[in-house]
Structure 1
């Protein structure tokens, strides 16, 4: 797909029931972690942290923290030092964040107050990441997110766990309805509400299929991301967009950006 349609996602709507939104995000977190969907993004994130001389990053639009636990473990192993992660979201999923914090021994923490990625407060410092969420923003909002990072001279990594293909759309429609029913009992932390809204009143599966379809149509291609980055006004800032991964379920579209050393004045 070399086009983009910005249809509406249920998850984005302020009126959408929080309990259904969190059920959808919990499923997404479970699948991303089990599939290792962001495995190929780890070297890119390591590069970003190395370039920005950071051992900590703040994840914006974290949802239910999908994939962060696996990413954190891989980074700790590859970098040889503990990497601290702070989760944040406009609608924080505190139950999921507490679960991840406990499992990580505190290496994964979170901001309990809402954080708007289009207006990141000054208290949020250092390298930023956005996993599986950049497509939620219209081009002018996405551009502003990149510009804000560049203005504050912080690194930013945008990662989407998909290759934006018709095959992914077909799998979503034909396979995921059965997959949701199969894996829901194994999602932790356990919630009776998740079972109710999956099996008795199937609002969670309907929401997952609808938002998954819209997400694929919304995702920016690498060319779109690079074009957006080229419009950012910031001296001595490096951008790179692309696609990595050659196995099903492990494709990642990415954009990374970080400040470079400013040139010294001529003597």
Structure 2
């Protein structure tokens, strides 16, 4: 699937009810974590941390923090030291972030205030990451995110947890409605609103299927990302994009970048 369509996702709309948005994000966090969808991103993140001599990651556009806990654990294990991750978003999901902070004894913390990925404050440090959110941005804004990282000489890793295939689209349409109904009672932290808007008024399942379909159509392929990089002013900065992962459900499209320092 090489096409890219800039359609609209419900969760991006300011009018979209916050309770439905958070229910959708909670489901995605649960599924991404259980499936280990970002397994293939761990070596790439380890490379960024080593090349920049960092032990801290600032995650942008965190949503509900899906997959972050398993990534933090895998990186800490492989690097034999505690890797800390700070979550942030333009619309912070405070309840989900507090849950992850408690689950990890503070190894994952968060910024409670809104953070704009196109203009990250100088006070926010660490390797930047964006998981399964970069596709939300049209090319002009996506380029501003990359340019901000390059201008501030900060490493960045962009990861989309998908292969961008028609098979994924079919699984989304025909398998995910059943999966949503089965797993929703097991998603933590518990919220009555999540049950109500899944089983009584099924706005969360409808939103997940719609936004999932649009997400697949909006994801940038490595070829799209490579063309985008031609518009970034980044002297002494290294970029690399491609695909990683060969296990079912664990495919990743990635773009990593980091500053080069003279020795």
Q: TM over 0.5: same fold?
A: yes
How many equivalent pairs are there?
Answer: 263
The residue number in structure 2 matching 1:209 is 209
Task: Kindly state the Cα deviation for residue 230 of structure 1 after the two structures are TM-superposed.
Answer: 3.1
Q: 2:70, 2:126 → 1: CA distance?
A: 21
The residue number in structure 2 matching 1:94 is 94
Q: 1:155, 1:87 → 2: CA distance?
A: 16
Runs of 4+ with >4 A deviation:
none
Q: What TM-score does the superposition give when structure 2 sets the normalisation length?
A: 0.98
Q: What per-residue deviation string (whole Å, max 9, x for no partner) do you get for residues 199-255 of structure 1? A: 000000000000000000000001111221232112110000000111211000000
The residue number in structure 1 matching 2:221 is 221
Q: What per-residue deviation string (whole Å, max 9, x for no partner) do you get for residues 33-81 of structure 1? A: 0000000110000001111110001000000000000000000000100
The residue number in structure 2 matching 1:60 is 60
Q: 2:49, 2:186 → 1: CA distance?
A: 33
Alignment of 1:22-171 (within 5 A): 22-171=22-171
Helix, strand or coil for the counterpart of 1:225? helix
Q: 1:152, 1:247 → 2: CA distance?
A: 35
Q: 2:49, 2:223 → 1: CA distance?
A: 24
Q: 2:98, 2:229 → 1: CA distance?
A: 34
Q: Where does the alignment leave 5 or more consecutive residues of structure 1 unmatched?
A: none
Q: 1:59, 1:25 → 2: CA distance?
A: 15
The residue number in structure 2 matching 1:195 is 195
Q: What per-residue deviation string (whole Å, max 9, x for no partner) do you get for residues 93-120 of structure 1? A: 1111001001101000000011111222
Higher mean C-alpha displacement, 3-12 vs 223-232: 223-232
Q: 2:41, 2:127 → 1: CA distance?
A: 15
Q: 1:179, 1:115 → 2: CA distance?
A: 32
Q: What per-residue deviation string (whole Å, max 9, x for no partner) do you get for residues 143-196 of structure 1? A: 111011000000000000001000000000000000000000000001100000
Q: What TM-score does the superposition give when structure 1 sets the normalisation length?
A: 0.97
Q: 1:70, 1:156 → 2: CA distance?
A: 19
Task: Kindly state the Cα deviation for residue 261 of structure 1 after the two structures are TM-superposed.
Answer: 1.5
Q: 1:252, 1:181 → 2: CA distance?
A: 26
Q: Where does the alignment leave 5 or more consecutive residues of structure 2 unmatched?
A: none
Higher mean C-alpha displacement, 176-185 vs 231-240: 231-240
Q: 1:134, 1:201 → 2: CA distance?
A: 30
CA RMSD of aligned residues (A): 0.8
Task: Kindly state the Cα deviation for residue 126 of structure 1 after the two structures are TM-superposed.
Answer: 2.5
